[in-house]
Amino acid sequence: MDHFNSRNGVMFAEDVDLRTIADAVGTPVYVYSSATLERHFNVFHEAFAPLDPLVCFAVKANSNQAVLATLAKAGAGADVVSGGELKRALAAGIAPEKIVFSGVGKTADEMRLALEAGILQFNIESEPELEALNAVAASLGVVAPVSVRVNPDVDAKTHAKISTGKAENKFGISWQKVDMLYERMRTMANIKATGVDVHIGSQLTELEPFRAAFARVVELVKSLRAAGHDIHHIDLGGGLGIPYDPDVAAPPAPAAYGALIRDVLAGLDCRIILEPGRLIAGNAGILLTRVLYEKIGDNRTFYILDGAMNDLMRPAMYDAFHHIVPVEDQAGDSFAADFVGPVCESSDVFGTGRATKRLKAGDLVAIKSAGAYGAVMSSTYNSRPLVAEVLVKGDAYAVVRPRVEVEDLIAMDKVPDWI
At 142, which CATH number? 3.20.20.10
Give CA–CA dist 243/370, Å, rounded: 12
Among residues 202, 205, 247, the alpha carbon closest in space to that of 353 is found at: 247
Could you say which of 217, 248, 274 is where a domain stops? 274
Q: Which of 1, 49, 331, 344 is catalytic?
A: 344
Neighbour tally for 379: CB within 10 Å? 12
pLDDT value, residue 200: 82
Could you say which of 274, 304, 328 is where a domain stops? 274
Residue 168: partners with Cβ closer than 8 Å, 6 or more residues away: none
Same domain, 322 and 390: yes
* DSSP string across 38-52: HHHHHHHHHHTGGG-
Give CA–CA dist 336/350, Å, rounded: 14
pLDDT value, residue 281: 98
Give yes or no for a cis peptide into 28 (omega within 30° of 0): yes
71 within some domain: no
pLDDT value, residue 155: 57
211 within some domain: yes
93 within some domain: no
290 strand-pairing partners: 364
Count of structural domains, the chain: 2
Angle formed by the axes of helices 178-186 and 208-226, nearest 10° = 40
How are beta strands 4-7 and 10-13 bridged, if at all?
antiparallel
Instruction: List the binding residues for pyridoxal 5'-phosphate.
Output: 239, 275-278, 373
Residue 270 annotated as catalytic:
no
5 strand-pairing partners: 12
Could you say which of 274, 295, 313 is where a domain stops? 274
Same domain, 130 and 191: yes
pLDDT value, residue 161: 42
Instruction: Please give the helix or strand (H or E) that residue 337 lies within, else none.
Output: strand 335-340
Instruction: List the binding residues.
Output: 239, 275-278, 314, 318, 345, 373
Same domain, 239 and 306: no
DSSP code of 364?
E
The reported pTM is: 0.94
Per-block mean pLDDT, blocks of 10 residues, the chain (419 long): 92 98 98 98 93 95 98 98 98 98 96 98 94 98 96 58 44 81 94 92 86 90 93 92 89 93 91 95 98 94 98 95 96 95 96 96 98 97 97 98 96 96
Same domain, 264 and 382: no
Same domain, 259 and 328: no
Domain that residue 304 falls in: 4-31+282-412
Same domain, 258 and 111: yes
pLDDT value, residue 154: 63
Is the distance from CB of 99 to CB of 55 less than 8 angstroms? no
